[in-house]
Amino acid sequence: MPDRIVDPKLLLRSEVADMIPIKVGAKYNAFSEVKSRLNIEPLRMGANENPYGPSPLVVQAIQKKITEVHRYPDNTCYELSKKMAAFHGVEPGRLMFDCGSESIMAKLINYCIKPGDKILSFSPSFPFINIIGQAAGADLISLAHEDDLSFSVEKFCEALANGVRYVYLCMPNNPTGTYFLGPELEKIIAAAHPETLFILDEAYVEFAVNKSDYPDAIKILEAAQQPYISLRTMSKAYALAGMRIGYAITYCEEFTALLKPGPVFNVGLLTLEAAMAALEDTDHLERYINIVSSERTRIEKELKSKNIQFFNSAGNFVCLSLPTLEQAQVIETKMQSVGIFVKSQKGRNNEGVVRITIGRPEDNDKVLDNLTL
Ligand SMILES: Cc1ncc(COP(=O)(O)O)c(C=O)c1O
């Protein structure tokens, strides 16, 4: 053991050194603990994964390429870009791919966000924006929800008036699943500075198709000529969380091109094949989305009958609102004791929320049977 250990904080930028380390990620130790204690497969309903698994076309595509992993992948993602661009009706040059949409978000620290820049978002929302914002030395402004669990457009617009440089709009929002309606978005964009970048996190957008009032946010941003980056992932609806693939659609080819330089081989050879196969199997995708939609309605009805408050979710999860974080944590612990993993977290002020992934109908039955306040 050396007698002089350099304080690691001296090696980091002060913004990063001052950050409080947070626990993130799946609870792999706890999964195996539950498995051996209860002799059951744990129900993993804390990370919004697709419980049905990938399309059989994905499995075939991976198997077909498995002997080629000694070769580097196509770092331009040429074929995938073409297919994805056709799917979205945009030029391929406006797309970029990386190992998860979080990796693209992380690039915003190095390439865009400067110390003192203001970032406006919701509270609670996907915490990664706060992590990268803090690391970049940005000034984070979070808008809390109202008593009726909605987010106020007026307050969002007011907050925008104070020189906001980045708007992080997670739609559907993680963990609440909530969203702004089309006219509300138009109002927000109108209140923003024309150079404000909208970071639109659409990780769960595929699950909103059955919500008739869910807006096409990209279309609205384009009509307003507002700069944006829409972050998408294939981890959720496409069941590729373990393959690590996310992508972004930006408002113009030049912006995408400027963001692209960086590690060149971040999307693996098998991942590329898996993504293209997943994109092709529209039936597999649709079946899952429809189950999520009908189960969401069924779960919400049950929650109402149990007098449990919940947010209006368009995602593949429901989100309960609890008066305190401790109450939310008690639910998480109780669920875990019977082998069900859900996610409690801080809500507004001292309130708590519990986010529960919508699973297969039999999984959801088990959640509802065990859910008490
Ligand atoms: C809102 C939101 N954005 C981004 C991500 C990250 O997705 P990826 O797996 O592509 O990194 C998640 C994952 O849970 C998420 O909930």
Average pLDDT over residues 201-221: 97
Q: Which fold has domain 56-280?
A: Aspartate Aminotransferase; domain 2 (3.40.640)
The alpha carbon of residue 167 and the mean position of all alpha carbons in its chain are separated, in whole angstroms, by 15
Ligand 1, closest atom to CA 236? 9
The rounded Å distance from CA 101 to ligand 1 centre is 6
Whole-number Å distance, alpha carbon 46 to ligand 1 midpoint, is 13
Nearest CA to ligand 1 atom 10: 100
Any atom of ligand 1 within 6 Å of the Cβ of 173: no
Tokens for 111, please give them: 């390439």
Give, in order, the Cα–Cα distances in Å from 60 to each of 8, 69, 268, 277.
Answer: 46, 15, 16, 9
Which residue's alpha carbon is nearest to atom 3 within ligand 1? 203
User: What is the CA(316)–ligand 1 centre distance, in A?
Assistant: 13
Q: Ligand 1, atom 14: nearest CA belongs to which residue?
A: 47
- Ligand 1 centroid – CA 202 distance (Å): 9
CB 134 less than 6 A from any atom of ligand 1: no
For the cut 80, the answer to whether the pLDDT of residue 211 exceeds it is: yes
Q: Is residue 121 lining ligand 1, measured as CB closer than 6 Å?
A: no
CA of 305 to the centre of ligand 1 (A): 31
pTM over 0.85: yes
Of 227 and 33, which is predicted with more confidence?
Answer: 227
Ligand 1 in contact with 43 (CB < 6 A)?
no
Number of C-alpha atoms within 13 angstroms, CB side, residue 189? Answer: 23
Q: What is the pLDDT of residues 328-353, one digit of tens each?
A: 999 999 999 999 999 999 999 999 99
| pLDDT over 70 (residue 24) | no
Q: Which amino acid is at 196?
A: T
Q: Could you tell me where in the chain the CATH 3.40.640.10 domains are found?
A: 56-280
> Which tokens go with 303?
């929650």
Which H or E run includes 28?
helix 28-38
Per the prediction, the chain carries an average pLDDT of 95
Ligand 1 pocket: which of 49, 168, 235, 238 to mutate (most atoms within 8 A of CB)? 235
Q: Where in the chain is the domain with CATH 3.90.1150.10?
A: 25-48+283-370
Query: Is residue 256 over pLDDT 70?
Result: yes
Q: Are 272 and 80 in contact (CB under 8 A)?
A: yes
The alpha carbon of 275 is separated from its chain's Cα centroid by a whole number of angstroms, namely 18
CA dihedral 159, 164, 166, 168 (to 10 degrees): -10
For ligand 1, atom 8, the nearest C-alpha belongs to 100
Q: Quick check: CB of 206 below 6 Å from ligand 1?
A: no
234, exposed or middle or buried, with CB in 10 Å at 0-12, 13-18, 19+? buried
For ligand 1, pick from 24, 45, 102, 107 the residue to mutate: most ligand atoms within 8 Å of CB. Answer: 102
How far does Cα 363 stand from its chain's mean position?
22
pLDDT the model gives residue 23 = 67
Residue range 15-36: mean pLDDT, rounded: 82
Residue 126 CA: nearest ligand 1 atom is 1
Q: Write down the pLDDT at residue 26.
A: 64
Task: Look up residue 135 and give its amino acid.
Answer: A
Ligand 1 centroid to residue 146 C-alpha, Å: 25
- Nearest atom (ligand 1) to Cα of 47: 14
User: Prior bond to 263 cis, omega within 30?
Assistant: no
Identify whether the C-beta of residue 115 lies closer than 8 Å to the C-beta of residue 134: no
Cβ 125 under 6 angstroms from ligand 1: no
pLDDT of residue 359: 98
For 121-148, what is each residue's pLDDT tens digit? 999 999 999 999 999 999 999 999 999 9
* Ligand 1 in reach of 170 Cβ (< 6 A): yes
The pLDDT score that the predictor gives to residue 162 is 85
If you measure from the C-alpha of residue 25 to the centroid of ligand 1, how many angstroms do you get, rounded to a whole number? 11
CB 311 within 8 A of CB 114: no
Is residue 133 lining ligand 1, measured as CB closer than 6 Å?
no
Give the fold, CATH level 3, of 25-48+283-370: Aspartate Aminotransferase, domain 1 (3.90.1150)
* pLDDT higher than threshold 90 for residue 20: no
